[in-house]
Amino acid sequence: MTDPSLVTRKLALLVEHVARLKRRRPADVASLRADVDRLDAIALSVLVVVQESVDVAFHIASDEGWGIAATYREGFDLLARHGVITVELASQLGGAVRLRNRIAHGYGSVDVDTLWSDLPAGVAAFEAFAAAVSAFVQRSPA
């Protein structure tokens, strides 16, 4: 059975960093390109948001006996297979994993234009993830 206090703590950190992403995204991409400190802060929050969501997915899948995900993307797929999140949301979150890997492992440079333009949809996806997981935890037996 999923540990609701653990998941709730992780979701709180995820939601906090989503709020930071919303606050930190400048009005235009040129401002982001010109402010490396803001870009670094956004990159850090992206890392935290993705990592916390992956941790939550792995905990739920493991605790519920649904299997152990071999990849971050598969963690989201397991949640989708069991109705915690939609297949579409799992796909969106899987795309965020690619960005996380580019940031964390330095796989080439992060495209600032794409980061700036994709950030609102990414924020919305992680807000949807947090809401879906919270609903799952609330309806799970204690």
pLDDT at 142 (0 to 100): 61
Comparing 131 with 95, which gets the higher pLDDT?
131
pTM exceeds 0.75, yes or no: yes
Compute the distance between CA of residue 60 and CA of residue 55 in angstroms, rounded to an integer. 9
Compute the distance between CA of residue 106 and CA of residue 28 in angstroms, rounded to an integer. 24
Task: Encode pLDDT of 52-62 as tens digits.
Answer: 999 999 999 99
Compute the distance between CA of residue 77 and CA of residue 61 in angstroms, rounded to an integer. 10
Task: Encode pLDDT of 63-106 as tens digits.
Answer: 999 999 999 999 999 999 999 999 999 999 998 888 888 888 77
Q: Tokens 């905990």 sit at which residue? A: 59
Which structural domain range is residue 111 located in? 4-139
Q: How many domains are there within the chain?
A: 1
What does the buried/exposed string (b/e) look like for 40-52 if buried means 16 or more CB atoms within 10 Å of the residue's CB? eebbebbbbbbbb
* Statement: residue 108 has pLDDT above 70: no
Residue 120 sits in a domain whose CATH number is 1.20.120.580
